[in-house]
Amino acid sequence: MIKVLGLLKRRSDMTTEAFRTYYETHHRVIGEKYLQGYAVKYQRRYLEALDDKALEHDVLLEVWYPDAATHQAASKHLSQPAIAAEITADEERLFDRPSNRFFTVTEVESSL
């Protein structure tokens, strides 16, 4: 399993509520359209601070792929010019794109 994480920041002119509403009603749909057939899980985890310190990001994105080959195929699919342009245009409406960070993850779990 290949897991890609993204730490995403909303545009500064959007409220938290507007950000979440737009993400779930518009951007999520675009993600599902292009991840279909590649990803096995597409999840958003909206972040809230436990103290009074400002958060650097608003959502933790998780996209799970069954294997490295499928992840590579999805990356190639998403980089097609028309698809990339649609995604980028919608991201500009939603995110502070320079602040976003993406990672692949190796998970190690403890038995408690």
Number of Cβ atoms within 10 Å of the Cβ of 53? 7
pLDDT digits (tens, 9 = 90+) for 83-110: 999 999 999 999 999 999 999 998 888 9
Nearest CA-CA partner of 12 in 89, 98, 103: 98
**27 near 87, Cβ under 8 Å?**
no
Reading the block at residue 102, the tokens are 């993406």
Instruction: Dump pLDDT digits (tens) for 36-83.
Output: 999 999 999 999 999 888 889 999 999 999 999 999 999 999 999 999
Which residues sit opposite 43 in a β-bridge? 62
Q: What is the pLDDT of residue 74?
A: 98
The topology (CATH level 3) of 2-105 is Alpha-Beta Plaits (3.30.70)
pTM of the model: 0.89
